Structure 1
Amino acid sequence: MSGKPKVLYVSHNHPTIRPGGAEAYAYELYRAVRDGGEFEPLFLARTGPPVSISSRYHEGTLLTGVNEDPNQYFFYTDTLEYDWLNGTPRGKAALTKYLREFLRAQQPDVVHLQHTLFFGYDMLREIRQTLGEQVPILYTLHEFLPICHRNGQLVRTTTEKPCREESPRRCHECFPEVSPQAFFMRKRFIQSQMSAVDRFIAPSNFLRDRFVDWGLPADKVVPEEYGRLPVTAAPTRERRKRNRLVFIGQLSYFKGVNVLLKAMKRLQEDGADVHCAVYGANLELQPDEFRAEFAELLEATKETVSFEGEFNHDDLPTIMADADWVVVPSVWWENSPLVIQEAAQHRRPVIASDIGGMAEKVHNGVSGLHFKAADPADLAQTIAGAISNRKLWDELQRRIEPPYAMDEHVRSLTRHYKELLASKASEDEEELVTPRAPATEIEDVRYA
């Protein structure tokens, strides 16, 4: 034991099992705190079907260790039925028995959740009840899953347009099989569980504003960008033209890869001298209709697009060295896409959709370019202008600022942890001096 106070990080998956941006960030944060922070970190990663094919291998427990690291644990939820509407497991034994036993054994001083998916929002209340009021709970918001039943994407099923406003009526329009009353109760349930959280971390101002609009108390939601571990920047290869693009991300409808391929098809038909490499994972998890369109577009653009599939993150410098532009064509709002930070680390300008977290993180005409979201024609026009203007690339690259460093991020989070611990200790002392008056009426725990 290190003698340091403990912070427990909770993730909905482990990047070695299923790669993803939030998972990769959570694991990098754990490693950074382990290697140089003031807290001893623990890492609890949910795993098991349907996202992972792995299943538990010890009967009698849902917990196993991860490799040789004594502070990392897998938590298997393959035995649970999951209520996707309300974000809660129908069987509660995983929370009331196994999670409770884990928390009692580890006794973390701080709990910092990166996600509750498959654990369930009930996890928040279980952590509070098991560890008590003196343990701060923080929650990093990575997308809009508490707000939106459509996988947290905030995209309308009726129009495929980004959505700015939720309500029982509007949510029912997107999902006619779910009543407005059920959506009303969904929001009440999720907010009641999230009221156990002391501080929410929002990696973008756009995301923070959406959650405050939804009902989280503004003073509980603080902006804090993702930190990035240092890397050796990819070399900038001399080329006569800056006409090589790269897409790096999940292969899904919402990430807009098919929007990019449609734009590449237009450019190919126009005879443009351009090439795009597509890197991504989890195609097998996507609907058949999306996969069929993706395959058709790949075939139609085989002269200008190469599909590279899943990649090892250690190969990112090589991938960036072969690219001039990084394209982020998501059709949903996004939060703070890690690929934008990775592009900045390797000094590659970004061509991004003009909405949400992408528009916030990429300054149009300064460090990158915007195009009209979900519009292949506008993307094709933007790419054509970008690759035909060598001076533009030079100017954009020169103005790219380095991303937020992980060591700075760890120091900032440590201040949050210490501040909350001190506040909790002060509250305990105050209660000892001044006993709480007996309740005279039922407290209303709803958000305003």
Structure 2
Amino acid sequence: MKILFANKFFFRNGGSEVVMFNEMDLMRQADNDVIEFSMRDPRNLPSKYDRYFVSEKSYRSPSRSSRIKSALSFIHSPEAVEKIGALILDEKPDILHCHNIYHQLTPSIINAASRLNIPVVLTLHDYKPICPVYTRLRGGDVCTKCSDGRFESLLTQRCADGSLGKSALLWAEARYHAMVRSYHRVSRFIAPSRFMRDAMAHRFGKDKVIHIPNGIDASRIRTSDDDDRYVLYLGRLSPEKGVETLLQTHAADDASWRLVIAGTGPLLEDYRSRFPSAEFVGHLTGEVLETTLRRASVIVVPSEWHENSPLSILEAMAHAKPIVASRIGGIPELVRDGVTGLLFEPKNSRDLSGRLKALLDDAGLRTRLGGEARRVVEAEYSLSRHATALLSLYESLTRQFKSPSKAVS
């Protein structure tokens, strides 16, 4: 089988890229051919298909005419449509699997594949098809007003950073792809969490959205009894991640427990200046990241938006670490209260403090929850299970599209 993967970044920029590169490796291990489509970038990994990649786009030009042209390509990219069409005609893939394609590649590539009778799979890393600003948040509160496909609330609420201009551009993007039915041409959506599956099924139908959990190779991770008595946050420092609630909780507890913040983001310097008792260690990778995880007592995930299926939680589970996390979105599917970790109400500092102290004061509880987290991740979230489900989906769709009765949309 030939599988064409599309993602706007061809380097490990975030969770969506980690998932995609894992899937490409899994497909190669199963003796399938992998084809890549992305955007040119000096950080890209090597690809023999990079001649088909679209030109790099930043959307920050000072020129008014350039900004208008960029805005149009933000909605529909003729270059991406042309190049993916040429790639499909030259390489003849059996299926197109899209990950993070928004803005630089645009959902127009779905239409291009559909016209060439290629089935399209789209992994839902966020809520973009039903929320133009991705997060289903407005002013820090959960919002679902666009879930039914009407996007006018985006304008009236100025959801994009309070800017009417940015909100209007995202509204135009959403309305355009609704008009040309880009997302309706997706053969199947892959939802890494059941929460995401249910949110998207409301708009696209339950038969079109399937739940395939993300996977992790736990066998590469050596568990350890190391415990340096600190709480560890791993991730982006942005409002929806709930880091401010965590930092306020730490300060309110008079820094009676050690807090390590590993990550970067737009709020790093603000947090660093306002919460000097926390330890900000920046973005960690490789052995430094592994060591930091192994020595932590508790991993905390204080999110305040409907998280999908955070890879940081799977990573913590594979390290046999207990997790304290918000009871929101897809998180409770991974952090099972009293089984693999403890849950607290989002934004509730008192609840968060109590959960953290319960674990920090009880080494036996930490060991029990951490051990069960490792068992669950090995049994339910392995890469082999992920690969089997993915191949089954691919084979089912390619059979349908090769059937003489299959009509081209």
What band does the TM-score fall into relative to the shorter chain?
0.7 to 0.9
Aligned identity (percent) is: 22
1:257-296 superposed Cα distances (whole Å, 9 cap, x missing partner): 22222222122x1x62x22222113x2xx2xxx3453122
Aligned counterpart, 1:259? 245
Is the alpha carbon distance of 1:169 and 1:413 closer, same or farther for their aligned partners in structure 2, counting shifts above 3 Å?
same
Moved over 6 A (4+): 79-83, 178-185
Aligned counterpart, 2:352? 379
> Is the counterpart of residue 42 in structure 1 residue 19 in structure 2?
no
Aligned counterpart, 1:228? 216
1:176-220 superposed Cα distances (whole Å, 9 cap, x missing partner): 83799998875553341112211111111111111122x212211
Matches within 5 A, 1:48-447: 48=41, 54=42, 66-67=45-46, 69-70=47-48, 75-78=54-57, 89=74, 92-117=77-102, 118-129=104-115, 132-133=116-117, 135-150=118-133, 152-157=134-139, 160-166=140-146, 167-168=150-151, 170-175=153-158, 177=164, 187-191=174-178, 192-213=181-202, 215-237=203-225, 239=227, 243-267=229-253, 269=254, 272=256, 274-281=257-264, 283=265, 286=266, 290-299=267-276, 301=277, 305-400=278-373, 401-403=376-378, 404-426=381-403, 428=404, 430=405
Question: Which structure has the bigger radius of gyration?
Answer: 1
Is the alpha carbon distance of 1:149 and 1:93 closer, same or farther for their aligned partners in structure 2, counting shifts above 3 Å?
closer
Matched residue pairs, number? 387
Partner amino acid, structure 2, of 1:405: S
Aligned counterpart, 1:58? none
SS of 1:378's equivalent in the other structure is helix
Asked if the contact 2:325/2:343 (under 8 Å) is kept, the reply is yes
Structure with the higher fraction of residues in strand conformation: 1
Asked if the contact 2:308/2:329 (under 8 Å) is kept, the reply is yes
Is the alpha carbon distance of 1:165 and 1:363 closer, same or farther for their aligned partners in structure 2, counting shifts above 3 Å?
farther
Asked if the contact 2:81/2:109 (under 8 Å) is kept, the reply is no
For structure 2, the residue ranges without an aligned partner over 5 or more in a row are 60-65
Backbone CA RMSD of aligned residues = 3.1
Give the whole-Å Cα distance in 2 for the aligned partners of 1:82 and 1:393: 53
Structure with the higher fraction of residues in helix conformation: 2
Is the alpha carbon distance of 1:218 and 1:238 closer, same or farther for their aligned partners in structure 2, counting shifts above 3 Å?
closer
Give the whole-Å Cα distance in 1 for the aligned partners of 2:76 and 2:108: 11
Is the alpha carbon distance of 1:79 and 1:414 closer, same or farther for their aligned partners in structure 2, counting shifts above 3 Å?
same
SS of 2:93's equivalent in the other structure is coil
| Alpha-carbon shift at residue 38 of structure 1 (Å) | 3.8
For structure 1, the residue ranges without an aligned partner over 5 or more in a row are 49-53, 56-64, 437-444
Partner amino acid, structure 1, of 2:177: I
Asked if the contact 2:96/2:120 (under 8 Å) is kept, the reply is yes
SS of 1:415's equivalent in the other structure is helix
Give the whole-Å Cα distance in 1 for the aligned partners of 2:114 and 2:188: 13
TM-score scaled by length of structure 2: 0.84
Asked if the contact 2:299/2:322 (under 8 Å) is kept, the reply is yes
Partner amino acid, structure 1, of 2:106: G
Is the alpha carbon distance of 1:324 and 1:179 closer, same or farther for their aligned partners in structure 2, counting shifts above 3 Å?
closer
Give the whole-Å Cα distance in 1 for the aligned partners of 2:58 and 2:371: 52
> Is the counterpart of residue 33 in structure 1 residue 34 in structure 2?
no
1:311-362 superposed Cα distances (whole Å, 9 cap, x missing partner): 2245443222111211111111110001111111111111111111112221
